[in-house]
Chain A
Amino acid sequence: MPRKQQDYDDIPGTFVFDAERSRQGYGINMFCMSLMKDENRKAFRANEAEYLKRFPLTPEQTRAILARDYNRMLELGGNIYFAAKLGATDGHSFQHLAALMTGMTQEAYAAMMLAGGRKVEGNRSRSEKTKTRKTKRG
């Protein structure tokens, strides 16, 4: 069954962790939660694919985790507070993950934050984003 469209799906660049995604992503989030224990972190690092078999994950969820494709993990039901535990296991700061999700270098992301963050103008809705892009081009 395709995902039911929600009013917030119109917010660009955003995967709202709703009840449907929570259901779908239970395995992703429980895997991430397991990384709170050192013995589990060690087992994961020793053989990632094997360790992931302990959790109810679809093949595409497994691929997203192995590829550290955080946006895809969120889209498939992961939640950022849980996913951050995977980033920490990899030894990354949160800002590293944030930059990764935005497709920016960490330096560029940090500079954007220092300059006041990402502007809401042009980022409120998909239609607004398209309009802004067209205006810029035109």
Chain B
Amino acid sequence: MARIIAGAATSHVPAIGAAIDNGRTGQPYWKRVFSGFEKSKQWMADARPEVIIGIYNDHASAFSVELVPTFALGCAPEFPPADEGWGPRPVPVVKGHPELAAHIAQSVILDEFDLTVVNKMEVDHGLTVPLNLLFGSPAEWPCPVIPLAVNVVLYPPPTGHRCFMLGRALRKAIRSWPEDLRVLVLGTGGMSHQISGPRAGLINSRFDKAFLDNLSRDPKKLSRIPHLEYMREAGAEGIELVMWLIMRGALDDKVDEVYRFYTVPASNTAVGHIILENRRGK
């Protein structure tokens, strides 16, 4: 039986990718950000996930305004890095797990979450920056990644509660996969930031810290936060945090927080990161 061993969440700021791609990780500004992920890399090496469900959002790369799926599950064998205007990022192609993805689609849709099945998709910094943060820059990503793209660009994104319940449905799907597999669920985006309009630059560390606390201990409380509150308190683009609730919904009610990191800023954004382990023997 496949088993979710843990969940992780991290911001996916494009400038972090640019710092990696342009060899700027040693500069003091970026060192502050990257140093927060050293322990995570070690944790990942020890945890050895065999599949990652990578929850992220596309930023006008794979999906323009022609087609805006709320939840899109990547069922392809591979997902090349997208050209985001400066050529594709020099990162490995993301290899999927089409068999497990097909199983998830079937299970989750019958569980009343109407996913869009995607058989051809490029993935942008939203997915590849978190992989860099957790794995560094290897020649190949160490395990398959099933991308789950969530619309958080066009308002309204799915509600926090809907995201949390999708996590529950994902968990059920994964548990019903007959093969033994260690699965990591990765939530990305956030934390507080606004990059549009005269209010751009908004950061709310108090909101972010409370969000991290509740993500560990009281995620159901988070799942009731209305969209208006995210946008008001965490910035118009801070609403991306609903994606973290999919990850949390996929975990057990009680988890062990094994690591947390928070820093301001990376470019225009507050960077948050957390690792939550399911307790063993479940």
Contacts and interface: CB of A to CB of B under 8 A. Distances in A.
Interface string B189-229: 00010111111111111110000000000000000000110
Interface in B111-164: 153-156
B118 to A, nearest CB: 18
A74 B155 contact: no
B154 A113 contact: no
B239 to A, nearest CB: 9
A79 interface: yes
B197 A116 contact: no
B201 A74 contact: no
Contacts, number: 136
A118 B64 contact: no
A101 B198 contact: yes
B197 A124 contact: no
A22 B215 CA distance: 32
A115 to B, nearest CB: 9
Q: Which of A35, A94, A112, A118 has the most CB of B within 10 A?
A: A118
B197 A71 contact: yes
Contacts of A71: 197-198
Contacts of A102: 198-201
B197 A94 contact: no
Contacts of B233: 120, 124
B154 A19 contact: yes
A106 B61 CA distance: 26
A17 B60 CA distance: 13
Interface of A: 7-8, 11-19, 22, 25-26, 29-30, 32-33, 35-36, 71, 74, 79-82, 85, 88, 94-95, 98, 101-103, 109, 112-114, 116-120, 123-125
B274 interface: no
Q: Is the interface of A mostly helix, strand, loop or mixed?
A: helix
Given A101-B197, A113-B201, 17 more contacts: A11-B199, A14-B196, A14-B197, A17-B154, A19-B155, A30-B66, A36-B85, A79-B65, A79-B154, A80-B196, A85-B85, A94-B14, A94-B268, A117-B264, A118-B194, A118-B202, A120-B202
B36 interface: no
Contact of B65 (A30, A74, A103, A114): A30
A103 to B, nearest CB: 7
A124 B15 CA distance: 27
B201 A112 contact: yes
A35 B199 CA distance: 26
